[in-house]
Chain A
Amino acid sequence: MEEQGLTIPSELGRITIAPEAIAQLVGRVAAECYGVVGMSLRAPVPARERVTRLLPKGKPARGVVVRNAGGAVALELYVVVAYGLNLAEVAATVRSQVAYEVERLTGLRVASVDVHIQNVKRTA
């Protein structure tokens, strides 16, 4: 990926975290978010640079796009939500849960989390 890693300055040198590593982390958090029953590969436009989407089924980084927004993390999530839930509330809690966990686990600032609900699926 041509995106540069995100860096955390520290007294002993910089810590760099690759976007793929953050994408893995985000995928894991998203899978635990209530209402999320899957990640979608599909982006709204034919993708050109959305390479992280190609990550395989079963691996959590599917449906996650990570960008470096001036040293902070900008995230896009493409999710499938269980049928019969309040979509606005599910999206809002996914956003806050992902932002909180990424800041907690990486120390990086999260600039934005865009949640796209790509599909609604009946699971029960």
Chain B
Amino acid sequence: MSELETARRLAHGALAALEQSRQRIDDLNVYPVPDGDTGTNLTLTVRGVVEALDASSATDRQALAREATRAALMSARGNSGVILSQIVRGAAESLAESNELARAVRGASDEAYAAVRKPVEGTMLTVIRELAEAAEAARPLGPAELLALLVERGEEAVARTPEQLEVLREAGVVDAGGAGLVELVRGLAAAAAGETPTPPAELPRVTVEAVHLEPSRFRYCTTFVIEGEGLDAAALEPELERLGDSLLVVGDPSALKVHVHTDDPGAALSLGTGVGTIEGVEIADMLRQTEERDERLLAALPGGASRSGVVAVVAGDGNRRLFESLGAERVIEGGQTMNPSTADLLAAVDATAADEVVLLPNNANVVLAAGQAARVAGKPVRVVPTESIPAGLAALVAFNGERSAEENETAMREAAAGVVTGEIAVASRDATANGVPVRNGEFLALLDGEALAAGAGFDEVARQLLDRLLAEPRDVLTLLRGEGAPSLEGLLAELADAHPELELDVHEGGQPHYPLLLSAE
């Protein structure tokens, strides 16, 4: 048999097994979104591969692997289909080089894990990884025997998924994608052995619990049975729909089971008594479930009662908004020519709700006053002696309100030290700074506070500063444009051309005296 014929036979086997189980896998689907289409998506993805192989005239393995990979990519449907397309890619690329099946399963697993930043365990990913481990641990076996073993190991891995993923446990189901993957392997095993796939053991059915995973704004979970003659579920559904959500009406013309989440269970029951007799009425108050959801919500969100707060001295409306959006509790207007007093700083410290405070002076002239305020304040205050707004931003990014001011000080000092800052100021008199002569009204570039270059042309001075800031490879360049500053369009275009990998983060800072503030990290 040619390689192409073998590949076709295996792919047809996988498709047949998936088609047999499609509906059951759809019913299991509660994660990542309970939309009941995992079985369908996997089937459609595999069907794409089968169709490509049926149309193929490939004569060597490399070409076969390329065609299968491409077909899986093009026909990938849904989350599970995309994961499967990676599994196909990993396996195909390995099989193009070697006959070793264990290596191919490992390749599939590695490729699948490579495409996600934070893999969630208890999913299809877990199952393919455990299959790879099982294949590597197995004693040498022929392909058909190894695939049969993988079906067993896969079933065990799928059975464990509710222990690994809470949403599955709550719904009382196993992972749909993992279950689908095992069906696919079952089909491959059967095809390799020259058999038709044996139908799988009964998969757990989806429960009413799964319906509860849908977000509901209604308080009472109401279920009852309507008995009568000629009951019409389709006519009843729109009327029940008006009362709430999570509606389910199933049964036959002599008995219908109704499930609905509503604030008015009485109205739902009245609809039932209007067309027949009702029994088996259960009305559950979901307030407790709602409270649990709120707890999840609170646990998922950062913040709450914070232990530490930040007081920052900032010039410019845009910069103020930036600092506030990054979590500064109080922002005091101030900077080069209007330094806040110790009393101003103390008042802001006292006004914070947090127990402890971190002060960001953001200007060399304010550092001293910040130190004095820290010494006389009525609560623990730490100063991170930032001398520029970009340095303050870098420090603020490391702030965590749940930690003490002391712990924050360490982290924030480190963060501030990790960035290189640049400033372009307008000179207010003729002077020589750090050996750089500058005239009144000219632009003066400072690198980490030291004068670097001066001149009458803004772009020219900025270019010299940017060259130094970007002398080492950097990931992100933050630019804060000052009040009345020249346009940055030209410089930004040059930067984008010269450093395509660099991320430019541009903000209207609105600070006076400094047309441009920069930081590179």
The docked-state distance in angstroms from the alpha carbon of A97 to that of B167 is 14
**Which residues of B are found within 8 Å of A24, using beta-carbon distances?**
301-302
Q: Which of B449-457, B462-470, B505-513 contacts A (4 or more CB under 8 A)?
A: B505-513
Chain A minimum-CB-distance residue to B492: A46
The docked-state distance in angstroms from the alpha carbon of A16 to that of B65 is 53
The docked-state distance in angstroms from the alpha carbon of A33 to that of B115 is 10
Q: Are A89 and B301 in contact (CB under 8 A)?
A: no
Choose one: A52, A82, A84, A103; the contact of B325 (CB below 8 Å): A52
Q: Are B76 and A97 in contact (CB under 8 A)?
A: no
Chain B minimum-CB-distance residue to A83: B115
Q: Are A21 and B505 in contact (CB under 8 A)?
A: no
14 extra A-B contacts, CB within 8 A, seeds A47-B505, A54-B325:
A1-B324, A18-B303, A20-B327, A32-B117, A34-B116, A36-B117, A51-B322, A53-B505, A89-B77, A93-B82, A97-B79, A105-B296, A107-B297, A124-B110
Choose one: A34, A57, A104; the contact of B115 (CB below 8 Å): A34
Secondary structure of the B side of the interface? Answer: mixed
A14 interfacial by beta-carbon distance below 8 Å: no
Q: Are A35 and B82 in contact (CB under 8 A)?
A: yes
Q: Are A55 and B33 in contact (CB under 8 A)?
A: no
Q: How many residue pairs, one in A and one in B, have C-beta atoms under 8 Å apart?
A: 142
**Which residues of B are found within 8 Å of A86, using beta-carbon distances?**
73-74, 76, 81-82, 85
Chain B minimum-CB-distance residue to A30: B117
- Measuring CB to CB, which residues of chain B are less than 8 angstroms from any residue of chain A? 32-35, 73-74, 76-79, 81-83, 85-86, 89, 110-111, 114-120, 213, 215, 217, 293, 296-297, 300-303, 321-322, 324-327, 393, 397-398, 475-476, 478, 488-489, 492, 503-508, 521
What does the 1/0 interface line of A24-38 toward B look like (CB < 8 Å)? 110010011111111
Leading 4 A-B pairs by shortest Cβ distance: A82-B115, A124-B114, A56-B397, A86-B76
Q: Are A54 and B492 in contact (CB under 8 A)?
A: no
Given contacts A46-B492, A47-B505, contact A100 B33 (CB under 8 A): yes
Q: Are A35 and B78 in contact (CB under 8 A)?
A: no
**Which residues of B are found within 8 Å of A33, using beta-carbon distances?**
32, 79, 116
What is the total number of residues of chain A having a CB less than 8 Å from a CB of chain B? 50
Given contacts A96-B35, A107-B215, contact A35 B115 (CB under 8 A): yes
Chain B minimum-CB-distance residue to A24: B302
Q: Are B507 and A51 in contact (CB under 8 A)?
A: yes
Q: Are B118 and A84 in contact (CB under 8 A)?
A: no
Given contacts A84-B73, A86-B76, A93-B79, contact A36 B116 (CB under 8 A): yes
**Which residues of B are found within 8 Å of A103, using beta-carbon distances?**
215
Given contacts A96-B35, A106-B297, contact A123 B507 (CB under 8 A): no
Chain A minimum-CB-distance residue to B114: A124
**Which residues of A are found within 8 Å of B321, using beta-carbon distances?**
1-2, 51
Q: Which of B116, B117, B303, B492 has the most CB of A within 10 A?
A: B117
The docked-state distance in angstroms from the alpha carbon of A102 to that of B326 is 21
The docked-state distance in angstroms from the alpha carbon of A42 to that of B476 is 10
A68 interfacial by beta-carbon distance below 8 Å: no
Given contacts A1-B324, A2-B321, A24-B302, contact A47 B506 (CB under 8 A): yes
The docked-state distance in angstroms from the alpha carbon of A124 to that of B32 is 24
**For window 69-120 of chain A, which residues contact chain B by CB distance below 8 Å?**
82, 84-86, 89-90, 92-93, 96-97, 100-101, 103-107
Choose one: A1, A37, A89, A105; the contact of B117 (CB below 8 Å): A37
A7 interfacial by beta-carbon distance below 8 Å: no
Q: Are B79 and A54 in contact (CB under 8 A)?
A: no
**Which residues of A are found within 8 Å of B215, using beta-carbon distances?**
103-104, 107
**Which residues of A are found within 8 Å of B508, using beta-carbon distances?**
48
Q: Are A55 and B303 in contact (CB under 8 A)?
A: no
**Which residues of A are found within 8 Å of B116, using beta-carbon distances?**
32-37, 82
**22 contacting pairs across A/B (C-beta < 8 A):** A24-B301, A31-B118, A32-B116, A32-B118, A33-B79, A34-B83, A35-B116, A37-B116, A41-B503, A46-B492, A51-B322, A51-B326, A54-B325, A55-B326, A85-B76, A85-B85, A93-B82, A96-B33, A97-B33, A105-B293, A105-B297, A107-B215
**Which residues of B are found within 8 Å of A55, using beta-carbon distances?**
326, 397
The docked-state distance in angstroms from the alpha carbon of A84 to that of B88 is 12
Q: Are A57 and B476 in contact (CB under 8 A)?
A: yes
Choose one: A47, A51, A56; the contact of B398 (CB below 8 Å): A56
**Which residues of B are found within 8 Å of A84, using beta-carbon distances?**
73, 86, 89, 115
Q: Nearest Cβ distance between residue A83 and chain B, in whole angstroms?
A: 8
Q: Nearest Cβ distance between residue A107 and chain B, in whole angstroms?
A: 7
